[in-house]
Each structure stands twice: as C-alpha cells, then as structure tokens.
Structure 1
Amino acid sequence: MERNLKLANYHTHCELDDGRGPLEEYVLKALSLRFEAIGFSCHAPNPHDSTWHLRHDKVEQYLETISRLRFTYGNRIEIYAGMELEYFSESDVLSGSEYADRLDYTIGSFHMLYHPKSGTYISIDNTREDYETLLNDNYSGDITAFVSDYFAIQETMMRHHKFSFLAHCDLIKKLNKDNRYFDPAEQWYMDASRHLIEVAADQHVRIEANTGGMARQAIPEMYPSASLLRIAAALDVPVVISSDAHKSAQLDYYFSQAIDEIIQAGYKQIDLLYHGLWTRQNLL
C-alpha cells in the first residue's frame, strides 16, 4: 500500500558511542532516504565503566557536531540532538538527565543491573553468560523473578522520571531465542509485560516500535512484540518508529513492514518530532 508519510528516525548511534560511522554519514543517508528528520541519541555518559556509552569528555564534540550539521543541512532535513539515558535502579538515577536542557529530546532506557557479587553493573542484553550470571546470582535462577523485576524497574523509571519515549520495552527477550529461558505465552509473562504497558498509559509515556534487534539479526521481531503492541494501541499509548541504527545503512530498516504491523496492531497514528514539536501523523 502506497503511503505518503513523513519518515524520521530518532534512535541512532554513531562512532562516539557503540555505533559505526560519523554523524554526517547518517545525515547524508537520511537525505538519500528522503527523511523529514533525523535525531541522534548516543548512549548518555554514566558514572559506571562502560565501553558503549558517550564519554563525558566527548559531549561537547557531540553537541557541536550536531549544531554544525544543522547549519550545513538544516534547510534540507530537520536534525535533532538527543541522548539515550540510562536508568540505574539501585540509585533511582536516570543518567544523562543533566544534559536534558541542552537536548531536543531524550530516550529512557534500561540495560544494566547491579551485580553485588562482583560489585559491577552487567548488561541484560549482551551475552548469554552475562544474562545467566544475573539470573543465577541475583535471582537464584528464578527466571520469573528476573523478568518480572526487569519490567517493574522500567515502571519505576516511568513513574519517577521524564523522557520523550521509552526504548525497546521488552529488551529482556533479546537472548531468549527459541524460548531458551522463558515462554512469552505463559500467563506470568503476559501479565508482567501488560502491566508495563498499562503503566506507560497511566504515565502518558510514548513507546517506540524498534526494529533494531532485527537489523542486527538478534531477534526475528520488533520491540515490542506484536501482542504488546496491540495492548499499547488499545490503551492509546503513543508510538514512534525507530531502527535503533548502529550503522547508517540501518536507518530505515524494516520501516515499511513495521508500519504495516503498527496498523495491524490497531494504531491509526504515529508520533513524529517535527518543527520542534511532537506531533501525530495519520497512518491511513
């Protein structure tokens, strides 16, 4: 079906965090795709060691580069400065919020849990070894407790902090290939994930339909799953489409099919940051 939609992507990563390629490469690719807008969202600096976040000493370079690109290309495409903020549940800190007044938008995300045994933070979506370390050491092997806590932590983040949209709300499934750890059709999982969407609705939080796991061949579906997307649509939770691009070639990955899936879930509109404001555009 031919549609005349304004296309944009506000979840992107570059060589300054864990992406590939300079910011300008993404702008040029977005222009070739006839995007109306592009937003940059490096992982925000955080107080804990990480090789995949923007460093504090690179923030000025990041923001100045975006300003320069806006000056150079701003008459052809809207360019926005954002960051993917990182939530630390133990301290209830959304790291990167200190930069919010210099940004056009922010993304709320949760990737890492504190691991008391090692005294470090470990990612839930990196390797099976890390995943199982958290599962076994933090939750005594109880996958229901682990996954339920993952959703509950995001609920706390939404209640306590403000951001433009919630990133990959069911990221916990990334390493669950072939239901290795849990079955998302089980009632406990459906209840926990549904409650997350209910909190998003109650807190007026926008979610993203994120194709990034597919772009990197990690999972065969979007974040969130089709069933969660249907719940979000029924509860009028706003949605924005993104590819969580880590390479410029991923900027529009699966967008056409994603729009079809968003419509099939029951959405009639998607959100767009355009002319400096979050607006909605009709899908049909």
Structure 2
Amino acid sequence: MILLNPKGDVNLHTHTYYCDGKDSPETLVQRAIALGFRALGFSGHEYSSFDTDFCMSPADTEKYRGEVLALKEKYKGQIDIYLGIERDYFGDGDDYPYDYVIGSLHYVKAGDRYLPVDYTEEITAAVVEQYFGGDFRSYVESYYRTLADVVEKTRADIVGHFDLITKFNEGYKYFDEGAPWYREAALTALREVARSKPIFEINTGAMARGQRTKPYPADFLLEEIDRLQCQIILSSDCHDLDCLDFGFEGVIKLWGKS
C-alpha cells in the first residue's frame, strides 16, 4: 500500500470555526507551516438544511471561501493551500468549483428523519433503540446500504471516514465487527464505492478525540481498498490545531510503504 502523503506533510480534512472546528483558517495555516507541511486543504462541513448544528451557514460558506482563497495568495511559496468541502450524503450541495470534495455519511434515515451516527454514544444508543428496535445489525446495514453510492451522490473525490458507524463501538461494545454479516455489509459497500476509483482516507480524528484507539477504516477494509487499487491519503479530520497531524507518525509506520 502506498500513501499519497507518506511523509505526513499534507492534511486535506481540516475544519475551522466556520463550522464545528475551533480555529481560524489562518491560525491553522500557520500551524501547518510550523509543522513543515507542504500542503493544507480546508474541508468545511457544507450546509445541510435539516441539521445546522455542525455545518457552515450559507453566509459563512461565502466567508469561508473568500478567506481560504485569500490565504492561498498570501502564503504562496510557503505552503500550498486548497479550498475543499466536506459534503454529507444528505446535504444540500452546490455547484461551486471546489478544489476537491470529501464525501461522507453522517446519518442514517428512518422515514423522514435524519439520525446522526456520530454525535454522542448516548444519542446513538437511543436512535438504535427507538428507530431500529435495539437492533444494531439493522442500523449498521442501513448505514452501509446508503454509503454504497456516496460518490455518485456527493460527487466526491475523497471518501471520508468510511466506517464512521463504528465510532462508539470500541471493543465491539455494540456489535461484532468480525462477524460475517458485518464484513459482508461493509465490503459490499466498499466495492461499490471503489468502482468510481475515489481516494479513500485513513482518518485519525476519533483517535484525537479519545473515542478510538485505531483510525478509520478497519484493517480489513484498508486491505480491500489496496487490493482494489484505490488511492489512500492520511488525514486528521482536524477540529483543533493541536491535532493537525495527530497520529500520523504511527499510521505511517504501519501503512506508509508498499
């Protein structure tokens, strides 16, 4: 397996205070330069009208674009800056020509309700109990059935945190990720997504927040991504400048060579 950023000097999954991140774009650029990065890509959460808690508003999206584009010029010659977006499967979307799109799935849908998979463990448990009769298998399979066409739906260049559904399942607390049904659901979705040959990310974001001990996606999924000859990039899903390169060194030791 060959990473697109084997030196850990690029991060394309970066959030600012325009959505649910903590820092300004320029503060993050300065941190990236201090770390010796050669490139930094911003990927604010695109507007989703049904859930505005974490995403950029339309007005802030305009400010975000303008600021990142200005920083591209200001820091030219010091670091390459890219204007991207993280587009949810169920998000509103737009036709702005971003440098790249990260396509992600943050919800499962039950009837006309969009149910978050990554807010808190307590919310996830309540969602499964109320809308899936406590059946985590049904919940997980719903997620992967939807995820299968995430590239087509979001026009993604990069697929974000593929197995996000496991965020609160450390130690297989709620379901067995080694079970045949689980692997079939995940691999079926992966193979469908891979038909478009997107870039997949190794995402250390949940590790940075203390929710996981390993990055997304699981090893068996990474091995299948490699077998299917899709490209892979390491990202931190940064929401805090102190975590801009979180976990990169360890991942590179494991996956940074062919």
Normalised TM-score (structure 2): 0.92
Q: Which runs of 5+ in 2 are unaligned?
A: none
State the distance in 1 between where 2:190 and 2:59 align.
36
> Which residue identity is paired with 2:58?
H
Query: Aligned partners of 1:19, 1:236: CA distance in 2, in Å?
Result: 32
1:254 aligns with 2:256: no
| Correspondence for 2:101 | 106
Name the amino acid aligned to 1:164: D
The question of whether the paired residues in 1 share the 8 Å contact of 2:8 and 2:252 is answered with no
Structure 1 residue 232 corresponds to structure 2 residue 234: no
* Selected match of 2:47 from 36, 45, 48: 45
The 5-angstrom pairing of residues 1-284 of structure 1 reads: 5=7, 7-88=9-90, 94-96=91-93, 98-101=94-97, 103-116=98-111, 120-263=113-256, 268=258
Higher strand share goes to which structure?
1
How far 1:47 moved relative to its partner? 1.5
Segments ≥4 residues shifted beyond 6 Å: none
Q: Where does residue 278 of structure 1 map in the other structure? A: none
Secondary structure of the residue that 2:202 maps to in structure 1? strand
Alpha carbons of structure 1 residues 51 and 4: separation in structure 2 relative to 1, 3 Å: closer
Q: 1:213: how far off?
A: 0.8
CA contact (8 A) 2:18 2:61 kept: no
2:148 alignment partner, SS class: helix
Distance 2:95 2:6 in 1: 35
SS of the equivalent of 2:26 reads helix
Aligned equivalents of 2:239, 2:30: Cα separation in 1: 15
Q: Which moved more, 1:192-201 or 1:67-76?
A: 192-201
Deviation at 1:140, TM superposition (A): 2.1
Q: Which amino acid aligns with 1:110?
A: L
The superposition leaves residues 65-116 of structure 1 with CA deviations (integer Å, 9 ceiling, x where unpaired) of 112211211121100111100112xxxxx532x1442x11110011123354
Describe the shift of the 1:83–1:161 C-alpha distance in structure 2 as closer, same or farther (beyond 3 A): closer
Q: Which amino acid aligns with 1:41?
A: S
| 8 A contact 2:205–2:238 mirrored in 1 | yes
Deviations 1:107-164 (A, max 9, x none): 0011123354xx6433111122321232123322222111111111110223444211
Contact conserved, 2:150 with 2:156, CA < 8 A, in 1?
no
The alignment partner of 1:95 has SS state of coil
Code of the aligned partner of 2:83: A
Secondary structure of 1:11's match? coil
In percent, how many aligned pairs have the same letter? 30
TM-score by length of 1: 0.84
Provide the secondary structure at the position in 2 that maps to 1:51.
coil
Cα distance in 1 for partners of 2:212, 2:26 equals 29
